Structure 1
């Protein structure tokens, strides 16, 4: 049976109403769980008929008629990265618990063409809102194509947001990444570190650039020295990056690391090189994820409020669709988490 044939055979609300012997309006009220009073016997009969016929509501049609935010799309950069897992968990939970909406999560796998494809497909599936939570540094070559696509989506009524700086003319719900970089450096300098290695994420990332600038500003403020290298977002690359740094500057005592995944590799390699944490080397990173909590020792991180940013973006979408007041952008405050990966520099 083809898709069109299955659709033609699917029972409708009209079928339910006819078999239950009630009006179309009454059947709709019962199956939408509205507060409008309906006789209990009639309501139960409608529900039983719906079960027997295998009827389910067409939420896409309902959202088109009523403007309710029944579905929102979320595009994340890499599903295996704890950073994105935290965002996905927060948005899917908040969508259901607060807005009774379904969040559709798409994993762009660091592929800019996939981000474009998923935006188009989510639009075709009639999402009411879209949250971009990845692609800031992956999406360079096709950025103008993405900008044009998002502009068409917005014109059609889709509310589009981002959780990081994207320069796409859409509301952004994120932290001040210069402040994040500054706070990472200050967490080391206040413990006495003056020779610091910076292992950042991909250099083309706007977020990376902002954090590195903030870190350098704080290090230079106390007359410290620094060495910068980049890493892709995985433990193996982090291990290679810290090995490069200490081969150039064996006197480095503190390390600012671009993500929790990178930090795992950094700490593993430092231990292999005979440096215990935090006795011989200190490590600070970003993202208050479970990965940081489960690390050995637990990582000191700057909590960049991933879950809160995601919830704020979702609330913005809901409020805009309902015609309520909604701020176009929110900058969340950040905070240092308690960990055990930072201490005073060892005397050499």
Structure 2
């Protein structure tokens, strides 16, 4: 069965194609009786406006891009990305906007991604999990479309003001440190994320500062937010200092890797070594023992980033940054 067209609705309602187009767009200048006839024809025929045609007519795309500069394997294995997409879709609810995902998994792909964004196919972009080394922060300064970062970017003084939403990473890591200090940890360590990500730096310093204020040094190793890197970093830390009695991992996946290493070495988790993660995704309650962790509101981050970019698209006043609060979920690991 052929999909009804604007012309079909116009013939059925006995009005011009232009009048139907105005009613479908929500133009309040159409007389009430005429608008009612058009609306009845739309309902009877099951007409659905063509988004592409509407974009051409208005000169504005109805598409947002979610740009992810991470390897494909991490995108599909880390729950954060799926939850962020769910939040973005929630933010798009009730709009005519659609979402496309753009992957920039290698540094040499950032130029192609920027070219795509410059072609006018999208009304705005949300850049997720960016690194300073991927070039997208600097490139965003040249984009003529509204751009929002999900996660604070590492900015140079020459960069323009950036719009972003983020979790209060520093406060979350401080909660982890305070919990460990309260439970008697005196040889603390952290598995931090990559140094070219603002979240990694904030979580590392937020954890270290309370211990250093108490005269205790924090050992540091780095991972890339994967479970495997957490296991390697934990092994490195324990090889350097077998007396470590508390490890804060900057993500739940890395915390699971830390626990893998502790299990392999028959080190009791929660007794001999406390472990705290950062995310509180579903798997955190299913580890052995269940993982103490900081809540990272990934769905709400995605929703807030979407609201921010839609405000920018519509030219509305848009406060930035939006920083979401955190809380600690205590379980047996820490």
Give the aligned partner of residue 237 of structure 1. Answer: 229
Distance between the aligned counterparts of 2:60 and 2:284, measured in 1? Answer: 38
Contact 1:27 1:46 in 2 (8 A): no
Q: Does residue 86 in structure 1 map to residue 79 in structure 2?
A: no
Runs of 4+ in 1 over 6 A off after TM superposition: 29-35
| Greater mean alpha carbon deviation, residues 187-196 or residues 37-46 | 37-46
Q: Any idea what SS the aligned residue of 1:172 has?
A: strand
Give the aligned partner of residue 197 of structure 2. Answer: 205
Q: 1:21: how far off?
A: 5.9
The alpha-carbon distance between structure 1 residues 313 and 298, as it changes in their structure 2 partners (threshold 3 A), is same
Q: Any idea what SS the aligned residue of 1:285 has?
A: strand
Unpaired runs of 5+ in structure 1? 1-9, 51-55, 343-348
Q: How does 1:178-327 map to 2 (within 5 A)?
A: 178-327=170-319
Residues 195-247 of structure 1 show CA distances to partners (whole Å, capped at 9, x for unaligned) of 11111112333322222122211111223232111122222221121111112
The alpha-carbon distance between structure 1 residues 319 and 44, as it changes in their structure 2 partners (threshold 3 A), is closer
Unpaired runs of 5+ in structure 2? 29-34
Q: 1:254: how far off?
A: 0.5
Residues 108-148 of structure 1 show CA distances to partners (whole Å, capped at 9, x for unaligned) of 33x23334423432443522121111222441xx35xx634
Q: TM-score w.r.t. structure 2 length?
A: 0.82
Contact 2:90 2:303 in 1 (8 A): no
Contact 2:89 2:303 in 1 (8 A): no
Give the aligned partner of residue 121 of structure 1. Answer: 116
Equivalent in 141, 152, 155 of residue 165 of structure 1: 152
Distance between the aligned counterparts of 2:273 and 2:51, measured in 1? Answer: 55
Give the aligned partner of residue 151 of structure 1. Answer: 141
| Greater mean alpha carbon deviation, residues 187-196 or residues 300-309 | 300-309
Contact 1:196 1:225 in 2 (8 A): yes
Q: Does residue 132 in structure 1 map to residue 127 in structure 2?
A: yes
Distance between the aligned counterparts of 2:212 and 2:41, measured in 1? Answer: 75
Contact 1:88 1:105 in 2 (8 A): no
Distance between the aligned counterparts of 2:191 and 2:319, measured in 1? Answer: 34
Give the aligned partner of residue 38 of structure 1. Answer: 37
| Greater mean alpha carbon deviation, residues 234-243 or residues 161-170 | 161-170
Q: 1:319: how far off?
A: 2.1
The alpha-carbon distance between structure 1 residues 251 and 82, as it changes in their structure 2 partners (threshold 3 A), is same
Q: Any idea what SS the aligned residue of 2:102 has?
A: strand
Q: Does residue 341 in structure 1 map to residue 333 in structure 2?
A: yes
Q: Any idea what SS the aligned residue of 2:218 has?
A: strand
Contact 1:184 1:256 in 2 (8 A): yes
Q: 1:302: how far off?
A: 1.6
Residues 164-193 of structure 1 show CA distances to partners (whole Å, capped at 9, x for unaligned) of 222253211113433233222222112111
Distance between the aligned counterparts of 1:171 and 1:39, measured in 2? Answer: 41
Q: Any idea what SS the aligned residue of 2:220 has?
A: strand
Distance between the aligned counterparts of 2:273 and 2:259, measured in 1? Answer: 9
Q: TM-score w.r.t. structure 1 length?
A: 0.79
Aligned length: 316
RMSD value, Cα: 3.0
